[in-house]
Amino acid sequence: MSVPRLRPDTPERAGLEPGLLHRAVADALALTTGERPWAAGLVVAAGRGPVLAVEEASGWAVRYSAYDPRTDAGTELPDGAKVPMTVGTPFDLASLTKLFTAVAAVQQIERGTLGIDAAVGAYLPDFTGAAARGVTVRQLLTHTSGLRPELPLYDCPDVPERLRRLREEVPVGERGAYLYSDLNMLLLQHVLERITGRGLDVLVHEGITRPLGMTATRFGPCPDAAATEDQRRPWAKADRGMVRGIVHDENAWALGGVAGHAGLFSTGRDLAVFCRALLAGGGHGPARILGPDFVDLLLTEPGLGFALDQPWFMGELAGRGAAGHCGFTGTMLVLDRATDTFAVLLANTVHPRRRPFDNAPRAALATGVARAVRAM
C-alpha cells in the first residue's frame, strides 16, 4: 500500500499553529547572527504527517578560513569568498549516521539474516575482544555492550593497525549497563558487511536512500557541504586544517570516511523524508524500507540506535516515546509518533572550531514544534 509522500505546504495544512511554529524557527535562524554565533549557519525543517511545514536556512555554509587561537575567533573570509547557507546545503551528519546503521541492521533482522540476540562472535569470530565477552547485536544497538566510548584509531599508523585495535578491543564496562560508544556502531558495521558481503555505503544507498528518493544523502566526499572545523591539535585530535566535504570525525576519517558511527552527509529535506518514512510505519510513496513491526522494534524502549525521550535536546517533544539523535557537528533529528511530527536542525556549530555543547537551541526548536501541535 502506497504511503503519501512528504510535500511542502503550510503549517495550517500540517495541523500546526503557524505563529508558534514560525516563532520557534525565527529564534533558531537568529542563532547565526553576531560575532560569535551559536552556528555559522543552519537549516531547519519541520512538519507533521505528510506535510513539510517549514524549511528555512540562515547564515553561512563557509564563513571562516581558519581559527585563530590568539584571539579565540575565526578568521573571516572576504564577503565574496563566503558561501551562503541554503536549504539544499548538505551537512556532515556526524552521529546521525548511527540511525542509518541501525535501520540497515533492523532490515537484516527483518530478513532473518541477522539475529538480534545473536553473539557478535558468531558473525565476527576474529573480533576476539567482543567475542570473548559474549557481546550481542542487541547490546551494540542499545549501547549496553560495555565498549568504551571511543578508541584513538586516528593515532594508529595505518588502516590494518586501526582494524587490529578494533578487533582486539575488550569491553571495559558492565554488560547490560548503558555506556554510549561509537565502537558499537563500528562493530555493527563490520557485522553487516560480513553477513551481506557489501559495504555499509552500499547497504545504506540500496536499502534506504535510493528507495526513499534521498538523492542528497551519501557518504563523502561531499565538496559542496557546509564547512566544519579547522582541525588542529590541541583542540582537535588530528591536524587537518579547515575541513569541508570530508568527514569531521577523526576516527571515521582514519577509517576511510565510511563508518558505522559517522560519515554520512545529507540535507534537511532528505532527513525530513527519512523521518516521514519512519513515522508512516516504514514507507514513503510506493517504497517501503521496513515493516511496521520492525519500525516498532527500532523506536520502542529502549530504542535501537535511536535515543528515546531525551528532553535535553528534544524539549517538550520528549515524554511520549519521541525518538531521535544528535550529532557532534551540530545536527539533530527528532520524530514523535504520538503527534506524527518531526523536527530537523542542521548546523555547523564546530565552524571554525569545536566548543562546549549548548543544546538549548535544539530543545527550543523541538519545544516550539510540540507547542504548535498542542495549540491546534
Question: Domain 7-100+202-374 belongs to what architecture?
Answer: 3-Layer(aba) Sandwich (3.40)
Q: Which residues contact 334 (CB under 8 A, 6 or more apart)?
A: 313, 314, 317, 322, 323, 324, 342, 343, 344, 366
pLDDT of residue 46: 98
- pLDDT interval class at 352 (50, 70, 90): very high
pLDDT of residue 18: 97
Mean pLDDT score across all residues of the chain: 97
pLDDT of residue 366: 98
CB distance 333 to 275 below 8 Å: yes
Is 80 exceeded by the pLDDT of residue 272?
yes
Q: What is the mean pLDDT of residues 34-61?
A: 97
Is 90 exceeded by the pLDDT of residue 2?
no
Tens digit of each residue's pLDDT (9 = 90 or more) over 146-183: 999 999 999 999 999 999 999 999 999 998 999 999 99
% of the chain at pLDDT higher than 70: 100
Tens digit of each residue's pLDDT (9 = 90 or more) over 67-88: 999 999 999 999 999 999 999 9
The whole-model pTM stands at: 0.97
pLDDT of residue 141: 98
Tens digit of each residue's pLDDT (9 = 90 or more) over 125-149: 999 999 999 999 999 999 999 999 9
Q: Which long-range contacts (CB under 8 A, 24 or more apart) does 286-294 make?
A: 286/2, 287/211, 287/212, 287/213, 288/3, 288/211, 289/103, 289/107, 289/207, 289/208, 289/211, 289/212, 290/103, 290/106, 290/107, 290/110, 291/110, 294/106, 294/107, 294/109, 294/110
- What is d(CA 94, CA 75) in angstroms, rounded to the nearest whole number? 24
pLDDT of residue 132: 93
pLDDT of residue 277: 98
Tens digit of each residue's pLDDT (9 = 90 or more) over 202-245: 999 999 999 999 999 999 999 999 999 999 999 999 999 999 99
pLDDT of residue 376: 79
pLDDT of residue 35: 84
pLDDT of residue 53: 98
pLDDT of residue 175: 86
pLDDT of residue 155: 96
Domain boundaries, the chain: 7-100+202-374
Tens digit of each residue's pLDDT (9 = 90 or more) over 184-206: 999 999 999 999 999 999 999 99
Is 80 exceeded by the pLDDT of residue 1?
no
